[in-house]
Every structure is written in structure tokens, then in C-alpha cells.
């Protein structure tokens, strides 16, 4: 039963039934299929008969356009995320996007057409925990900003990583509180001017992905909006990973971050992200001084640990089986 119909329901029906003609099937519209290497970023592939703007079917079209400012990185993240979901053939009816307060929280909510839970400031991960525990078969994805997840909600972030609950958290780090007009955030670089550090920022920023890796995250990566292809693959790995997965996405806010740092165009910050980025493998050979001011990109951690909801379920199963034996009734396969 759909209260709101899927956009283009036949598309999804055919997609999941695998009866879709090859020409209409979702193809990477931004890359080329290499026979040896698979999908590689490159020229946009145009295929005869393939529908244009086909990712629109994943969005709540009636509320478009988005509220993002010109040059904002939010659109890139939404585009990348939608591509990732499309390629993974995840049924949007099996997804919940949970967000907090801030511009970045608007990336999936309300634009992405799935169940969306737009919560209070900082609490997205805590709300998502309740959803995931009750609906472990659903993909629960959190997209929110640095102020929301690393600032006011930082405690929930590290504890979710510690528990290793199967959530995919995409933290969009634009170095600033953008929605409220450019106040210093826990990820604003040292020495930078903002509206609440009008002389300079005297605090040191979090390297928040490193914090999550240390707290026990099962998959932790950092990318930037300058690297959408790598980011998309990373998002897919994060969603696929059983356990707490986290990507810090360095993004641009030319309006609120740009106005006090002089990078007033989106492209200015994108160039900064490009120039400051250092691949994680290259970073291994660099000293702390050399890495000062750099953004280490790539996969920072991957490990296997018991997933939280799985642990809860196994515990219930054991208890229920013991009771079933005691009462002589059949136990269920576990809930």
C-alpha cells in the first residue's frame, strides 16, 4: 500500500523483476564501462533510449527545487547518494533516511522519496537506533552536518560506533554552521574567521572520521565533494557493510563559510578541497607537520565485529528457545 505512489512505479517493478530491457536499465551515466576494470570514471555515457534525468524518480518531485544555495555541496551529495542507491538497486521502500537540523540534513529529507525522519538537532543517530532495532531489515541512513553529528550530537556518534549498530552515517562537513549564518563549528580549521570568531578561531577542529574510527566504526572513510566517483563507491561500501559505517564528506559552503574566508564561489572551496586532499596511502609516509592542514582521503578503517541488532536478536532467540523448551511450545525463528 502506498500513500504516496512511487514515481514511475513500472520502472521499479521491472527493475526488481529484472525484466527491464537493457536499454532502460540504470547505467552509470557519468562513467564508462571498462571491460577489464569495470566501471571507471570518465566521459558521460549516453545510451540510445535510456531515459534522461532518470534519478528524478528517487526524489519527491513535488517539492523541488531544493533549498540549497548556488554552489552548495549538498546537491553533489544528493546526486552521488541517489546514484549509489540506484546502482545498488535498493528499493526505496526498504530505506529510512534519518536526519537532524541543518542544511546537510535537508539532503535526503524531505527530498529523497523514502520514509524520512527529520529529527531534532543532534539526535538523528539516537532516533535511528530505535528505528534500526525494530526494523533491522531496512537500510537506515543518516545524512547530517558537522554541527549536528560532531557538535551537539557527538556523543551519539561515538556511542553508535562503539555499539557497532548497522547504520550508514554520511557526515557532510562544510566547516561551519551554515543554516544559522556561519558560526564556528567543531570542525572549523584553526585560525579561521567566522561570524562568532570574528578575529580568529582559537580552537582546534575535530578530525571526526578519525574519532569514529577510534570509537570502533566498522567502515570509516573520508572523501570530498571534489571526488564524487570515489565517494559514491564509498557510500555503496558503507551501505553494504554490516555494522556502523561512516563517511566524512568534506563539502563547500560558499555562502556562510565563504563569506569570512574569502572563498565566495563554490569552485573556490572545491579547489581548496582538491589541493588539500592527500590519499590515505600517501599520508602514511608523511609526518604530522607535513599533514598539517591536509585532508586525508580514502578508507581509514574497516573491521568486523558483532553487529548490535544481531546481538540483541541472538539474545532474544536464546531466551525464547529456553522458554519454548520449558513450556513445550515451538519457538519462532527469532524476531
Partner 1 sequence: MSKPPENAALTNRYLEKLAAKAHFIQGDEAAALGAIFAGCDFFGGYPITPASEVAEVMARELPATGGYYVQLEDELASISAVVGAAWAGARAMTATSGPGFSLMQENIGYACMTETPCVVVDVQRSGPSTGQATLAAQGDVMQARWGTHGDHEIIALAPASGQECFDLMIRCFDLAEEYRTPVIFLMDGEIGHLRERVVLPHPDEIERFPRRKAVAGQDVFGGEMVPPMLEFGDGGFVHVTGSTHKANGMRDVQTQAVHDRLVRRLVAKIESARERIAMVEVDAEDNATVAVLAYGATARPARGAVLGARRAGRRVSFVRPITIWPFPIRAVRDACRGLRRLLVPEMNLGQLAREVERHVDCEVVPISRIGGVIHSSRELYAEIEKAVS
Distance of CA 3 to the CA centre of its chain: 26
Among 68, 81, 127, 177, binds partner 1 (CB under 8 A): 127
Using alpha carbons, select from 276, 288, 155 the residue that is nearest to residue 227.
276
Contact 80, 170 (CB under 8 A): no
Among 34, 203, 290, 332, binds partner 1 (CB under 8 A): 332
Among 63, 88, 267, 286, binds partner 1 (CB under 8 A): 63
- Applying CB under 8 A, does 131 fall inside the site for partner 1? yes
* 3-class secondary-structure state, position 221: strand
The dihedral formed by the CA atoms of 84, 88, 92 and 93, expressed in degrees to the nearest 10: -160
| DSSP for 26-80, written as a single string | ---TTEEEETTTEEEE-SPP--TTPPTTGGGGGB-GGGPSP-PPTT-SHHHHHHH
In angstroms, what is the minimal distance from the CB of 98 to partner 1?
Answer: 7
Give residue for cell 599520508: 283
Restricted to residues 138-157, the positions that interact with partner 1 (CB under 8 A) are 138, 155-156
- Applying CB under 8 A, does 3 fall inside the site for partner 1? yes
- Applying CB under 8 A, does 181 fall inside the site for partner 1? no
In angstroms, what is the minimal distance from the CB of 168 to partner 1?
Answer: 15
Residues 194, 264, 110, 66, CA torsion sign: positive
Q: Quick one: which segment of 119-127, 187-195, 245-253, 293-301 binds partner 1 (CB under 8 A)?
A: 119-127
- Applying CB under 8 A, does 92 fall inside the site for partner 1? yes
- Applying CB under 8 A, does 134 fall inside the site for partner 1? yes
Give residue for cell 511450545: 329
**Residue number with CB closer to partner 1 (106 or 206):** 106
Q: Quick one: which segment of 128-136, 232-240, 262-270, 294-302 binds partner 1 (CB under 8 A)?
A: 128-136
In angstroms, what is the minimal distance from the CB of 29 to partner 1?
Answer: 24
Restricted to residues 299-318, the positions that interact with partner 1 (CB under 8 A) are 312, 315-316
Using alpha carbons, select from 103, 110, 121, 288 the residue that is nearest to residue 207.
288
Q: How far apart are CA 323 and CA 34, in angstroms?
A: 56
Distances (CA, A) of 113 to 15, 29, 60, 125: 17, 21, 5, 20
**Residue number with CB closer to partner 1 (124 or 213):** 124
Q: How far apart are CA 107 and CA 159, in angstroms?
A: 24
- Applying CB under 8 A, does 330 fall inside the site for partner 1? yes
- Applying CB under 8 A, does 126 fall inside the site for partner 1? yes
**Residue number with CB closer to partner 1 (63 or 286):** 63
Residues interacting with partner 1, by CB under 8 A?
1-4, 60, 63, 92-94, 96, 98, 109-110, 113-120, 122-123, 126-135, 137-138, 155-156, 159, 312, 315-316, 319-320, 323-324, 327, 329-335
Amino acid at each position: 500500500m502506498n500513500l504516496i505512489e512511487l514515481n514511475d512505479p513500472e520502472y521499479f517493478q521491472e527493475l526488481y523483476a529484472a525484466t527491464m530491457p537493457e536499454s532502460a536499465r540504470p547505467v552509470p551515466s557519468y562513467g564508462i564501462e571498462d571491460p577489464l576494470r569495470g566501471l571507471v570514471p570518465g566521459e558521460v555515457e549516453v545510451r540510445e533510449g535510456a531515459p534522461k534525468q532518470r534519478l528524478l524518480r528517487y526524489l519527491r518531485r513535488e517539492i523541488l527545487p531544493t533549498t540549497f544555495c548556488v554552489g552548495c555541496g549538498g546537491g553533489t551529495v544528493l546526486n552521488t547518494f541517489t546514484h549509489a542507491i540506484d546502482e545498488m538497486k535498493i528499493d526505496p521502500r526498504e530505506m529510512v533516511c534519518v536526519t537532524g537540523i541543518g542544511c546537510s540534513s535537508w539532503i535526503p529529507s524531505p527530498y529523497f522519496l523514502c520514509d524520512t525522519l527529520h529529527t531534532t538537532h543532534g539526535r538523528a543517530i539516537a532516533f535511528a537506533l530505535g528505528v534500526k532495532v525494530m526494523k533491522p531489515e531496512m537500510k537506515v541512513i543518516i545524512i547530517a552536518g558537522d554541527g549536528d553529528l560532531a557538535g551537539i550530537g557527538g556523543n551519539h556518534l561515538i556511542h553508535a560506533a562503539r555499539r557497532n549498530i548497522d547504520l550508514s552515517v554520511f557526515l557532510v562537513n562544510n566547516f561551519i554552521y551554515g543554516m544559522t549564518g556561519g558560526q564556528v563549528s567543531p570542525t572549523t580549521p584553526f585560525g579561521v574567521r567566522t561570524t562568532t570568531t570574528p578575529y580568529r578561531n582559537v580552537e582546534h577542529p575535530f578530525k571526526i572520521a578519525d574519532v569514529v574510527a577510534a570509537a570502533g566504526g566498522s567502515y570509516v572513510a573520508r572523501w570530498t565533494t571534489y571526488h564524487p566517483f570515489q565517494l559514491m563507491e564509498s557510500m555503496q561500501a558503507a551501505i553494504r557493510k554490516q555494522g556502523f559505517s561512516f563517511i566524512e564528506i568534506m563539502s563547500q559552503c560558499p555562502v556562510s563559510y565563504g563569506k569570512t574566508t574569502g572563498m565566495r564561489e563554490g569552485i573556490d572551496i572545491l579547489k581548496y578541497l582538491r589541493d588539500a586532499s592527500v590519499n590515505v596511502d600517501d599520508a602514511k609516509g608523511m609526518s604530522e607537520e607535513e599533514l598539517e592542514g591536509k585532508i586525508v582521503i580514502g578508507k581509514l578503517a574497516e573491521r568486523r565485529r558483532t553487529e548490535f541488532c544481531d546481538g540483541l536478536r541472538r539474545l532474544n532467540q536464546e531466551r525464547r528457545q529456553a522458554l519454548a523448551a520449558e513450556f513445550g511450545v515451538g519457538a519462532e525463528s527469532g524476531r
